[in-house]
């Protein structure tokens, strides 16, 4: 089928490439001409492992193309995917202006009855409003289908082909049948439901995953002063199939462009629905506090950070992405700078995005070792492989003061202590379970 995808960000580009790879003819459109130029040169505007190979494969197969012209994109298509941003607004609600302007463009350029597939994460009720708005302004019938995405940055190419489920919400049975046919090639279970349920599945899923993370982080905080080892507690919990081990890794909390935004938006949705979602607000509050734990630990070792050389390893909100949106590192580095520290940061992929935020305030090292050189402490913020590969011996040789404060469980307490490092790891108190039972 001929498909248009509006928006070539993390969701739009991966969706467009995925749909072309299962045989559809896809035109991706974006108003940002620099992005389209890059894509037409075979270069991805986003860092996503595996995406460029898929772009090259499907462009050369004649199934995938890119344009900045809505008119050109819309002329032969009757299925339009909307994958534009819905960033968090100042009041915590999702910003809808990009959705609204894209809807108007669609109404202007459409040439036949159209199915509008909304990939963007939108507050409950938005798709019904969009359905009504299109009925007012569109020259042809428009059927809206909510098709929320569940892609994780850094593994989005994997997730588009190996997701757990595809959710389709609509009032129009015909449109649902069409979208089921469109998605058949993914061979992933499909849940067809009503519009509002599809919108809520997305928010509820992300909020629940965020809840798991804040929950395990509070348990980690209990471990630190009771002799528990969070790695063992998390492992023991995860062996219960009703709990499951994913998203039970304690650390300095979640960041990124989804969990923080979606939990905040869901809280507003709940308030509008007359529900006081206290649990969710505690999840958000716990996450805010957790990301400052490393600085608190550091300040227990130095009365003042004035003039201290502190290394920060990792800026991206997680490994395998260049995304630093709402990354814990941003908050942590700002806190260190405000405390008078000299910060040397390292990130193999996100350093350019980080430079745009901190400029000359932070020195960006090219390697982990360069960041550790003469450091008076190091904070481990993102669990990049390049970070985990550094040995305790190298830390001792390179650092002026061997204080290692680990926010992502990258190193082994027993080994670090054996080498004489002052090592802190979230959720591991004085007792290291490995020393007791050897595993
Ligand atoms: C998330 C959802 O997983 C995805 O389904 C949705 O479509 C978009 O939002 P993403 O934000 O890309 O994906 O990253 P994810 O891998 O979920 O991690 C989110 C944050 O949680 C990261 O900062 C990560 O470091 C943190 N995290 C994750 C933990 O702190 N502990 C964990 O066990 C897992």
User: Where are the domains positioned within the chain?
Assistant: 2-192, 201-289, 293-425
> pLDDT, tens digit, for every residue of 166-186?
999 999 999 999 999 999 999
Please state, in angstroms and rounded to a whole number, the distance separating the CA atoms of residues 96 and 93.
9
Please classify residue 60 by burial: count the beta carbons closer than 10 Å to its beta carbon, then call 0-12 exposed, 13-18 middle and 19+ buried: exposed
CATH of domain 293-425: 3.40.50.720
Give me the pLDDT at residue 430, please: 67
**β-bridge mates for residue 342, sequence order:** 309
Please state, as a whole number, how many other Cβ atoms lie within 10 Å of the Cβ of residue 62. Answer: 9
> pLDDT, tens digit, for every residue of 392-437?
999 999 999 999 999 999 999 989 999 999 999 999 976 666 666 7
Closest atom of ligand 1 to CA, residue 150: 7
What is the per-residue burial (b if ≥16 Cβ within 10 Å, else e) of 366-403? eebeebbbebbbbbbbbbbebbeebebeebeebbeebb
The kind and range of the H/E element at 129 are helix 126-137
Let me know if the fold of 2-192 is the same as that of 293-425: yes
> pLDDT, tens digit, for every residue of 7-56?
999 899 999 999 999 999 999 999 999 999 999 999 999 999 999 999 99
Q: Dihedral sign, CA of 128, 101, 110, 30?
A: negative
Ligand 1 atom 33: the closest Cα is on which residue? 247
- Mean pLDDT of the 181-208 span: 97
CATH class for the region spanning 201-289: mainly alpha
Question: In sequence order, which residues have a C-beta less than 8 Å from that of residue 150 and are 6 or more positions away?
Answer: 159, 163, 164, 165, 202, 205
Give me the pLDDT at residue 1, please: 77
Closest atom of ligand 1 to CA, residue 205: 5
Closest atom of ligand 1 to CA, residue 10: 12
439 pLDDT higher than 80 = no
Q: Which of 28, 223, 258, 410 is catalytic?
A: 258
Give me the pLDDT at residue 354, please: 96
CA 258 / ligand 1 centre spacing (Å): 8
Give me the pLDDT at residue 89, please: 84
> pLDDT, tens digit, for every residue of 377-387?
999 999 999 99
CA 386 / ligand 1 centre spacing (Å): 20
**β-bridge mates for residue 67, sequence order:** 29
CA 152 / ligand 1 centre spacing (Å): 7
28 is catalytic: no
278 pLDDT higher than 70 = yes
269 pLDDT higher than 80 = yes
The preferred substitution site among 204, 258, 406, 425 for testing ligand 1, maximizing ligand atoms within 8 Å of CB, is: 258
Give me the pLDDT at residue 56, please: 97
Closest atom of ligand 1 to CA, residue 153: 12
Please state, in angstroms and rounded to a whole number, the distance separating the CA atoms of residues 172 and 131.
11
CATH class for the region spanning 2-192: alpha beta
320 pLDDT higher than 90 = yes
Ligand 1 atom 18: the closest Cα is on which residue? 254
Ligand 1 atom 15: the closest Cα is on which residue? 152
Give me the pLDDT at residue 429, please: 76
Which residues lie with the beta carbon below 6 Å from any ligand 1 atom? Answer: 149-153, 206, 209, 213, 247-249, 251, 253-256, 258-259, 317-318
Give me the pLDDT at residue 432, please: 65
């Amino acid at each position: 089928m001929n498909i248009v995808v509006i928006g070539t960000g993390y969701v739009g580009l991966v969706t467009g490439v995925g749909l072309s790879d299962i045989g559809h003819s896809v035109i991706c459109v974006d108003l940002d001409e620099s992005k389209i130029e890059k894509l037409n040169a075979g270069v991805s505007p986003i860092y996503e492992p595996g995406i460029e190979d898929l772009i090259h494969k499907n462009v050369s197969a004649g199934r995938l193309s890119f344009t900045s012209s809505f008119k050109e994109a819309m002329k032969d298509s009757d299925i339009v995917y909307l994958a534009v941003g819905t960033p968090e607004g100042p009041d915590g609600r999702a910003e809808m202006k990009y959705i609204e302007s894209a809807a108007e463009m669609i109404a202007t350029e459409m040439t036949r009855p159209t199915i509008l597939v909304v990939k963007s994460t939108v507050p409950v009720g938005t798709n019904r409003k969009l359905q009504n708005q299109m009925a007012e302004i569109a020259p042809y019938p428009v059927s809206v289908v909510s098709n929320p995405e569940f892609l994780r940055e850094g593994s989005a190419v994997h997730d588009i082909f190996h997701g757990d489920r595809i959710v389709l919400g609509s009032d129009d049975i015909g449109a649902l049948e069409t979208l089921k046919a469109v998605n058949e090639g993914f061979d992933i279970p499909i849940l067809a439901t009503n519009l509002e349920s599809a919108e809520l599945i997305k928010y509820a899923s992300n909020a629940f995953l965020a809840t798991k993370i804040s929950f395990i982080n509070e348990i980690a905080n209990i471990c630190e002063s009771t002799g528990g080892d969070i790695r063992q507690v998390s492992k023991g919990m995860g062996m219960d199939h009703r709990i499951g081990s994913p998203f039970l890794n304690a650390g300095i909390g979640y960041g990124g462009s989804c969990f923080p935004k979606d939990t905040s938006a869901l809280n507003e949705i709940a308030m509008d629905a007359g529900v006081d979602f206290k649990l969710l607000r505690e999840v958000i509050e716990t996450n805010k506090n957790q990301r400052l734990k490393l600085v608190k630990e550091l300040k227990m070792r130095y009365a003042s950070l004035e003039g201290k050389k502190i290394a920060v390893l990792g800026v991206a909100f997680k490994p395998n992405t260049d995304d630093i949106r709402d990354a814990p590192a941003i908050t942590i580095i700002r806190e260190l700078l405000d405390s008078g520290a000299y910060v040397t940061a390292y990130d193999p992929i996100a350093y350019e995005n980080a430079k745009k935020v901190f400029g000359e305030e932070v020195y960006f090292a090219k390697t982990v070792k360069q960041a550790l050189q003469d450091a008076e402490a190091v904070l481990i913020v993102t669990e990049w492989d390049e970070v985990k590969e550094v040995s305790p011996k190298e830390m001792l040789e390179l650092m002026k003061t061997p204080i290692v404060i680990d926010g992502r469980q990258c190193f082994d307490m027993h080994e670090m202590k054996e080498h004489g490092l002052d090592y802190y790891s979230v959720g591991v108190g004085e007792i290291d379970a490995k020393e007791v039972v050897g595993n």
